[in-house]
Structure 1
Amino acid sequence: MSHIDLQPGFDFQQAGRDVLQIERAGLAHLDQYINQDFAQACEKMFYCAGKVVVMGMGKSGHIGRKMAATFASTGTPAFFVHPAEAAHGDLGMVSAQDIVIAISNSGESNEILALIPVLKRLKVFLICMTGRPESSMGRAADIHLCVKVPQEACPLGLAPTSSTTAALVMGDALAVALLKARGFTAEDFALSHPGGALGRKLLLRVNDIMHTGDEIPHVSKEATLRDALLEITRKNLGLTVICDDLLKIEGIFTDGDLRRVFDTGIDVRNVGIAEVMTPGGIRVRPGTLAVEALNLMQSRHITAVLVADGDQLLGVVHMHDLLRAGVV
């Protein structure tokens, strides 16, 4: 393409707004196609004993990949198969228990049309998503989902723009409708996203990250304040637990408590820890979600909580542990 000069006064912002207006109109037009065919497609996918296999060529393939990913992450087992690769062996991934969703705006994708006779022979249920119900794919489908739009946002009417947006939104509508029908929860979502921030917040529990054993700062009730301060310094968690030999909790002493002790004028060199500790201490159970421990710390303006079963000390969780785990 040869270089051309920018037209004087060309308005990029208006060009962008024109695209948004055209695509909004296309989506408004799509509303009429959330109909009985849509409901039947959802019902077939809801009761599918296999997987949802999404196919599409070119830009429709890109939409299909995203659609399959959305299905899979929201409770509908799904994967994408490239139609050209399917014709050379990958069709073996598809079984009679599966449902195929084939996407093509024209409904005349040669690569998909070549697969339809085999899919019919395998008795695979076929949902076609096109902009032309009268197309070859539209006629061959067991259910046709129309995604016709009044016009493409491309001024040449060539680059798929409004049509791919419509297909993407129709895919989202299917996925979310199925999600709601299944009663899919945030925790279900987290199970398929364990590496993400949401997964960590919904799955990580305090016993996964708490300090245990020798890492727990603790002293006996007979210890001096000086002993307690040395333990706080050694373990570097900003506190020490006061407990017996069996780790039964008596109380807690923190950096904040030390500042308050200084304000009272107590002789810190001679006082016993039992005289200045806070009885009990704020604690959570080991199965508590890490995000719940975070909320507790924030609401109580503290930086650590004890992990305990009743009065039995099991561990300590510090705000820094939550930061490292990506919960904050």
Structure 2
Amino acid sequence: METKVEKNIIDTAKKVLADESEAIKSLISTIGSEFEEVVNLILNSRGKVVLSGIGKSAIIAQKISATLNSTGQKAVFMHATDAVHGDLGIIDDEDVIVILSKSGNTPELKVLIPLIRRLPNKLVGMVSDLDSFLARNSDYVLNAHVNREACPMNLAPTTSTTVSLALGDALAVCLLEARGFTKRDFAKYHPGGSLGKKLYLKVSDIYPNNEVPIVKEEAGMEEVILEMTSKRLGTTAVINEEGHLTGIITDGDLRRKLREKVDVFSLKALDLMSRNPKVIRKDDFAVNALNLMQELSITQLVVAENQKVLGFVHLHDLLREGLV
């Protein structure tokens, strides 16, 4: 039975999510020509984007900076306090400066903004209070207005930071699309982790690490078993006299024959193999090999080109690479 305390927790959580989602929805109607001008300003700039802020806004500015960098737009974070103690030197003449603030009236910004206005750079304010010091002194204003925070005391930055983060994502995606940023570009900036590997790791990066079990069609079962076990893949490719791939034998094929009480040692590879095995090319992405294995419910694929066996890629290889 749900207690009153539990109900209050659930209701509060739902209210926070509802309040923040409504704030983002209300932001949609504010997107207009000025947002488009900011996107074009950044696209046409030969410099980077310098993002700054104070407190929680600074943390959001850091995240937006990271998102821009990962999607093809050079960006750096400059803390508003550190800026007046030497970090202004990070700004080049062609840079676009974006300052995030809910109030737009913090003392630190009132010190920093006049210094920035002496520079040739364009200043973009991402701010909730459109009549603030930041808004009045910006060349462009991105409307990040919120009526109140999700915090019941209307104090802790919650809804305001969520709205700024969403607006930063909108900016990054618009820039990404305008530049024709592709998956290959994304992979270049995300080489680490499973996400990056799905976008750049190829079969050719994996299969050379495995041995290559191969037998001819006329090979006896003792040779087949020795090849499968010595190469430790639990499978072997079968080739004809011309060296062309004609089949594959797995340990599962052997077990099935044994359950059928067949004298497997009277068989040749040709008798046991599965014909026309599924293959993967060496230049295919490793994630394609994974998808094919999952689709066919198998654990290995022959790597082949022009009917020539190059090697094997096993599900365990993809597990080790973190693709699963």
User: What percentage of residue pairs aligned between the two structures are identical?
Assistant: 42
Would you say the 8 A contact 1:212–1:316 is kept in 2? no
Structure 2 contact 193–322 (Cα < 8 Å) conserved? no
Partner of 2:226: 230
Letter in 2 for 1:11: N
Higher deviation after alignment, 225-234 or 88-97: 88-97
In the alignment, structure 1 residue 23 sits paired with structure 2 residue 20 = yes
- Counterpart residue number, 2:270: 274
In the alignment, what sits opposite 2:96?
99
Distance in 2 between the 1:284 and 1:21 partners? 47
**Paired residues for 1:166-245 under 5 Å:** 166-211=163-208, 215-243=211-239
State whether structure 2 residue 303 is matched by structure 1 residue 289: no
Aligned AA for 2:237?
A: V
Residue 82 of structure 1: how far off its partner (Å): 0.9
Runs of 5+ in structure 1 lacking a partner? Answer: 1-6
Unaligned runs of 5+ in 2: none
User: 1:249 is matched with which residue: 236, 245, 251?
Assistant: 245
Q: What is the CA-CA distance between 1:40 and the residue it aligns to?
A: 0.8
Q: Contact (CA 8 Å) 2:244, 2:308: kept in 1 or not? A: yes
> Match of 1:141?
138
Q: Quick check: 1:223–1:272 contact (8 Å CA) kept in 2?
A: yes
Query: Residue 75 in 1 paired to residue 33 in 2?
Result: no
CA distance in 2, matches of 1:224, 1:44: 72
Deviation at residue 117 of structure 1 after TM alignment: 3.8
CA contact (8 A) 1:103 1:129 kept: yes
Q: Which residue of 2 aligns with 1:309?
A: 305
Q: Matches of 1:27 and 1:232 in 2, distance apart?
A: 59
Q: For 2:213, give the aligned amino acid.
A: P
Residues 251, 31 of structure 1: CA spacing in aligned structure 2 closer, same or farther, 3 A cutoff? Answer: closer
Q: Which residue of 2 aligns with 1:130?
A: 127
Q: Secondary structure at the match of 2:238?
A: strand
Name the CA distance, whole Å, in 1 between partners of 2:179 and 2:317. 35
How many residues were matched structurally?
Answer: 321
Displacement of 1:179: 2.4
Moved more, 295-304 or 272-281: 272-281
My pick for the range that moved more, 87-96 or 217-226, is 217-226
Separation in 2 of the partners of 1:222 and 1:20?
67
SS in 1 for 2:29: helix
